[in-house]
């Protein structure tokens, strides 16, 4: 496995693979890898001849008040996880490599990004779309792998790929959870012992909402209220949003009549956590 820091090195390596007739998978990450990331790499390795993992904390998707500087980083650990999973190449650029002086071109979207996380993080998805589009142009993968925990991101990337004719298969992979139900996240490291226990309310509340759906409830407002009531039992939790949206358009629904995404964002102390489930009819 190689670790490279420049776009030129990635392109040269991919060119060699293409000359050998090999398929290429891409797993975009911001590093500090956990079992959720590893599950993406595992699937990419199973479905492609060669796999590139990008490790890049993308400054463009962070607002000035967010956690860019404190976002956890551990390249040695990330490299060990990638190598064990069978990745072929890690692309670990500096911000200056991705965004040259005078950089002024962006990929933006007028649908899918205004709700859910887009409400409280208005610049986030422009940064996500721009960096992912750049990675697609640099790596030119056959397939790219994204986790369902960031369900809005998954939907946004699929839409971008369709709109801009990238010709890349976007593979969504299931949420990986701790044994007690907490969704794996690099930001879980911010939680102290009490906050870590309090964070279990996210998966517990979603389970209540899912159970209601499975008993036949179709009223989105009732489902949201059930989830909200359960979160309210945890004093350390502060709700950002609880929503039931159409899984294809991410528009809020009043009645569950098609596949929906039930998504939540909750602050536990100062840490903002997200979780969700997709309910398919």
Q: List the catalytic residue out of 34, 37, 92, 100.
A: 37
DSSP code at position 248: T
Burial label for 211, CB within 10 Å (0-12, 13-18, 19+), is exposed
Q: In angstroms, how far is the first alpha carbon of the chain from the final one?
A: 42
- Which residues, 6+ apart, have CB-to-CB distance to 39 below 8 Å? 147, 173, 174, 176
Rounded to whole angstroms, the Cα distance separating 28 from 118 reads 20
Is 37 known to be catalytic? yes
Residue indicated by tokens 């950002």: 240
Tokens of 123: 């610049």
Structure token pair of residue 99: 């965004």
Nearest to 59 by CA among 130, 143, 2, 140: 130
Backbone angles phi, psi at 31, to 5 degrees: 80, -165
* Ordered strands of the 237-246 beta sheet: 237-246, 260-268, 271-279
Q: Is 229 exposed, middle or buried (0-12, 13-18, 19+ CB in 10 A)?
A: exposed
Orientation of helix 220-231 relative to helix 201-214, angle to 10°: 150
Give catalytic residue positions: 37
């Amino acid at each position: 496995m190689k670790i490279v820091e420049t776009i030129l090195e990635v392109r040269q390596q991919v060119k060699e693979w293409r000359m050998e007739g090999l398929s290429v998978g891409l797993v975009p990450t911001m590093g500090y890898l956990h079992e959720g990331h590893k599950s993406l790499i595992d699937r990419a390795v199973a479905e492609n001849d060669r796999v590139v993992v990008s490790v890049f904390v993308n400054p463009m998707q962070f607002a000035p008040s967010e956690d860019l500087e404190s976002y956890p980083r551990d390249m040695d650990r990330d490299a060990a996880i990638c190598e064990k999973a069978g990745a072929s190449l890690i692309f670990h650029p500096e911000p200056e490599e991705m965004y040259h002086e005078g950089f002024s071109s962006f990929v933006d979207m007028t649908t899918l990004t205004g709700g859910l996380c887009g409400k409280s993080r208005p610049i986030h998805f422009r940064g996500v779309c721009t960096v992912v589009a750049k990675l697609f142009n640099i790596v030119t993968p056959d397939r790219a792998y994204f986790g369902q925990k960031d369900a809005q991101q998954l939907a946004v990337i699929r839409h971008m790929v369709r709109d801009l004719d990238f010709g890349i298969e976007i593979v969504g992979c299931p949420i990986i959870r701790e044994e007690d139900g907490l969704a794996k996240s690099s930001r879980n490291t911010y939680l102290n012992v009490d906050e870590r226990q309090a964070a279990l309310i996210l998966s517990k509340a979603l389970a209540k909402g899912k159970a209601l759906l499975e008993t036949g409830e179709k009223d989105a407002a009732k489902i949201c209220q059930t989830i909200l009531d359960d979160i309210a039992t945890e004093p350390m939790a502060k709700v950002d949003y609880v929503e039931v949206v159409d899984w294809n358009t991410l528009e809020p629904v009043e009645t569950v009549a098609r596949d929906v995404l039930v998504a939540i964002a909750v602050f536990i102390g100062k840490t903002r956590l997200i979780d969700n489930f997709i309910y398919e009819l």
